Structure 1
Amino acid sequence: MRKAALKIIDFFYPPFQKWFSLHTFRYMASGGITAATGIISYFVIYNYILEQKDVTINSYLVTAHIAALAIESVFTFVVGFMLNKYLVFTQSTLKGRIQLFRYATVVATNVLLNYAMMKILVEGFLFYPTIAKTLITILLAVFSYFSQKYFSFRVKKQ
């Protein structure tokens, strides 16, 4: 499965080899898949599962766009970790549980930043939630790359 996925990703690499290393391209492809999973699942959850209606949990009101973000984050966490661990950062010398914990830390930071920015863009600037989610995803992708490369899936120097 890993070899087949890498074959597909690597097939699209030649036009980009002047600008990116194969490793960076694989990260971008994996990140693109993760981001697309997030945006599509957010759209489906927000519009069809929650039907754009706010949710009340133990007498706390959770707005529909924030509830969709919380649910969507579970999907993207699993997809993102698997792609990063098995397709992109395969040279990491850290144990899997350490990678998972560090990855979870970066994702938690992203979720908090995502939450804050969603609140600001949707409630403060009245952006449409799916557009706000897309813009935030692009911004956080850059942060995530450096966090994953130098923290979550770090390669120890010999």
Structure 2
Amino acid sequence: MRTFILMVIDFFYRPFAKLMPLQTFRYLACGGGNTALDIFLYFVCYNFVLHQQTVYLPFITIGAHIAALFMSLAVTFPTGFLLSKYIVFSESNLRGRVQLMRYFMLVGICICLNYGFMKLFVEQFHIFPTIAKVLTTIFVVGFSYLTQKKFTFKVKAPVE
């Protein structure tokens, strides 16, 4: 599967070769696909699973726009990690469990950013939730790429 995904992504890279490095293109392709999946799942969860209704749990009440955020994350967390580890940053020589823990921390920060931006855009600026999710994604993706490249999947210099 990895070979097939790389073959497809690398085929479409040729026209962009002078504009960006291959790794950046792979990140955009994988991240873009995972983000599209996230937005699609968010839309389905918000509109058809939750019916735009508040979720009442025993100890907390969660707005549908926030609950849908966590529901879509349950799918896109593992797919994002696997795409990053095996497709985008495969040259990283960090142990898999270190990468997973760092990725988990990064996702935690991204959840906080998503939560904060969604609260701001939906509740303060009164932007429709799906559009707010797209705007939020733009901010979070830039932060995520830099963090993954420089921290989560970095390449450790060999010890001499």
TM-score if structure 1 supplies the norm length?
A: 0.98
CA displacement at 1:139 relative to structure 2: 1.2
CA displacement at 1:59 relative to structure 2: 4.2
Point out where structure 2 has 5 or more consecutive residues left out of the alignment: none
The corresponding residue for 1:56 is 56
The corresponding residue for 2:117 is 117
CA displacement at 1:18 relative to structure 2: 1.1
Aligned AA (2:147): S
The corresponding residue for 1:9 is 9
The corresponding residue for 1:152 is 152
Which stretch shifts more, 125-134 or 55-64?
55-64
CA displacement at 1:76 relative to structure 2: 1.3
The corresponding residue for 1:132 is 132
- Cα distance in structure 2, aligned partners of 1:29 and 1:41: 18
SS at match of 2:91: coil
- Cα distance in structure 2, aligned partners of 1:77 and 1:26: 18
Q: 1:70-121 CA distances to partner (integer Å, 9 max, x unpaired)? A: 1111111111001000101111111100000000100000000100110010
- Structure 1 runs of 4+ aligned residues shifted over 4 Å read none
Within a 5 Å distance, the mapping from 1:6-155 to structure 2 comes to 6-155=6-155
- Cα distance in structure 2, aligned partners of 1:60 and 1:26: 39
SS at match of 1:86: helix
Q: 1:32-58 CA distances to partner (integer Å, 9 max, x unpaired)? A: 011111100000000000011110011
- Cα distance in structure 1, aligned partners of 2:29 and 2:96: 22
SS at match of 2:37: helix
- Cα distance in structure 2, aligned partners of 1:155 and 1:60: 42
Equivalent residues, number: 158
Aligned AA (1:101): M
- Cα distance in structure 2, aligned partners of 1:38 and 1:111: 13
Q: 1:111-143 CA distances to partner (integer Å, 9 max, x unpaired)? A: 001001100100000000000001111111110
- Cα distance in structure 2, aligned partners of 1:74 and 1:96: 20
TM-score if structure 2 supplies the norm length?
A: 0.97
Percent identity (aligned) = 49
